[in-house]
C-alpha cells in the first residue's frame, strides 16, 4: 500500500482522536514530510482532516469518503481479502462488474463508486447517483448452481441491506417487493440482480447483485422527489458497504432459505395493502396477501388468486379530500 493509503487507514481507525504527526510517521515508518504530503493528498480527495497546532491531525466524525481502504478495514476478517475496486465515478457498477466477470473476476469481487453517470435500475430505469451522498456497489457471485435455484439472491440481498441499516442506523427499513428498501414510506435503496447462465446446462455462471443506496442525498430530480428518500444517518458509507458486502456473502451461501424468507416477509411494506401493476397494457388493482416459498407475490384480484413472479408494483394510497 502507499503512504497515503496507510495514513487513511490509521486515521480511520482513530477517527475523532488527535494523532500527532510524529505518531503517524512512526506508525507508518516514514518521515514527517511524507506524512504531511499524504495528509494533503487525502484532503484533496475529500477527507475532512483538521490540523491542531502543535498537536497533530484529526479525522472529523463527519468525514465520509468512500474508499477501498475504508471499506476493507471494516469488513469481517474472512472477507477482508475479497477483490475490491472503488471508482470516483463510473457509468454503472453493474456494467463494470459484468465486464470484470467476463474477464474471469472471482466470486466475491466488489465494484463500488462515489457516483454513477448511468446508474441502472430494473426494467431499464435509471438510478439517480450523485457524488458524495450515496453508495453504489455491485458484487460478483459465482453460485455454481442451477439458475432456478438463484431465486433467493435478491431476497438475500434485501435482507442484507435491511439488517445492515438496522445495525448501523436508527432507521426501520421495510422491503417493497421485490427489490426496494423503504424508510419512512420513501425509497432509499434499489437492488438490481442480473444473471448470466449457460443455456445448455441451465447453470448460473455469474450473478451480479447491484445496490444503489441513498445515504445523505437530499436534492432529488423532480420526477422522483416525492418518492425517494435517504437514510440521513451518521453511519459512513464505508461502514455501510462493509456490512452489506459481508452479509451478501453470508446470506447468498446460506442453505436456510426459510429464515431468509421469514425475515423478508416480516419486513414487507406491502402485505395487506392494495397494490397495482400493469399487465398487457392494463392497470390491475389487487390486494397483496402473501409471499410464497418461491418469493412470488400472492395477490387477490377481481378474478381470484394470482402469483406475480416479477414486475413492478405500486401501493395504492387512498386520497383524503380536503
The CATH code of the domain that includes 138 is 3.30.930.10
Domain count, the chain: 3
Shared domain check, 40 and 174: no
Q: Which domain holds residue 281?
A: 274-315
pLDDT at 226: 92
> How confident is the model over 306-322, as pLDDT tens digits?
999 888 899 987 543 33
Please, what's the largest Cα pairwise distance for the chain?
A: 76
- Report d(CA 72, CA 241) in Å as an integer: 9
Judge whether 321 lies within some domain.
no
Helix (H) or strand (E) holding 137: strand 134-141
For residues 77 and 205, state if they share a domain: yes
Torsion 151-156-161-163 (CA) sign: positive
**Model confidence over 193-238: pLDDT tens digits?**
998 887 777 788 999 999 999 999 999 999 999 999 999 898 999 9
Among 30-44, 163-177, 185-199, the minimum mean pLDDT is found in 185-199
Nearest to 19 by CA among 38, 41, 2: 38
Give the pLDDT score at 200.
74
CA–CA separation, 98 and 93 (whole Å): 9
- Structural domain contains residue 203: yes
pLDDT tens digit sequence for 248-282? 999 998 767 889 999 999 999 999 999 999 988 89
User: What is d(CA 106, CA 169) in angstroms, rounded to the nearest whole number?
Assistant: 31
* In a shared domain, residues 226 and 82: yes
- Cα separations (Å) of 46 from 35, 64, 106? 17, 8, 31
Q: Is 200 in the same domain as 116?
A: yes
Q: Determine, yes or no, domain membership for 259.
A: yes
CA angle 233, 152, 316 (to 5 degrees): 65
pTM for this structure?
A: 0.90
What does pLDDT average to over the chain?
91
Residue 184 has pLDDT above 90, yes or no: yes
State mean pLDDT over 43-58. Answer: 90
- Residue 234 pLDDT: 87
Answer yes or no: is 33 within a domain.
yes
- DSSP state, residue 33: H
What is the pLDDT at residue 52? 79
Q: State the pLDDT at residue 199.
A: 74
Worst-scoring range by mean pLDDT, 50-59, 143-152, 190-199? 143-152
The distance from CA 268 to its chain's CA centroid, rounded to whole angstroms, is: 18
Q: Is residue 320 part of a domain?
A: no
The mean pLDDT value for 134-144 works out to: 95
Amino acid at each position: 500500500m502507499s503512504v497515503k493509503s496507510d495514513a487513511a487507514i490509521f486515521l480511520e481507525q482513530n477517527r475523532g482522536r488527535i494523532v500527532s504527526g510524529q505518531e503517524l510517521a512512526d506508525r507508518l515508518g516514514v518521515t514527517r514530510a511524507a506524512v504531511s504530503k499524504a495528509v494533503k493528498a487525502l484532503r484533496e480527495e475529500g477527507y475532512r482532516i483538521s490540523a491542531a497546532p502543535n498537536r497533530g491531525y484529526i479525522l472529523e466524525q463527519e468525514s465520509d469518503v468512500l474508499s477501498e481502504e475504508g471499506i476493507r478495514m471494516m469488513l469481517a476478517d474472512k472477507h477482508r481479502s475479497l477483490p475490491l475496486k472503488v471508482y470516483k465515478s463510473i457509468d454503472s457498477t453493474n456494467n463494470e462488474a459484468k465486464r470484470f466477470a467476463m474477464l474471469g473476476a472471482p466470486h466475491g469481487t466488489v465494484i463500488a463508486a462515489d457516483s454513477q453517470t448511468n446508474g441502472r435500475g430494473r426494467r431499464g430505469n435509471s438510478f439517480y447517483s450523485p457524488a458524495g451522498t450515496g453508495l453504489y456497489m455491485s458484487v460478483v457471485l459465482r453460485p455454481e448452481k442451477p439458475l432456478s435455484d438463484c431465486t433467493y439472491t435478491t431476497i438475500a440481498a434485501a435482507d442484507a441491506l435491511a439488517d445492515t441499516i438496522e445495525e448501523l442506523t436508527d432507521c426501520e427499513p421495510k422491503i417493497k417487493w421485490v427489490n426496494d428498501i423503504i424508510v419512512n414510506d420513501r425509497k432509499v435503496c434499489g437492488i438490481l440482480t442480473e444473471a448470466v447462465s449457460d443455456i445448455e446446462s441451465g447453470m448460473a455462471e455469474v450473478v451480479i447483485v447491484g445496490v444503489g443506496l441513498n445515504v445523505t442525498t437530499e436534492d432529488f430530480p423532480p420526477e422522483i422527489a416525492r418518492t425517494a428518500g435517504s437514510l440521513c444517518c451518521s453511519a459512513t458509507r464505508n461502514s455501510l458497504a462493509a456490512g452489506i458486502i459481508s452479509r451478501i456473502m453470508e446470506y447468498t451461501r446460506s442453505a436456510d432459505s426459510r429464515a431468509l424468507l421469514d425475515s423478508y416477509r416480516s419486513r414487507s411494506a406491502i402485505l395487506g395493502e392494495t397494490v397495482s401493476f400493469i399487465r398487457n397494457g392494463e392497470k390491475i388493482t389487487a390486494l397483496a396477501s402473501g409471499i410464497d416459498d418461491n418469493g412470488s407475490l400472492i395477490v387477490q384480484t377481481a378474478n381470484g388468486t394470482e402469483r406475480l413472479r416479477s414486475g413492478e408494483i405500486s401501493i395504492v394510497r387512498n386520497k383524503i379530500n380536503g
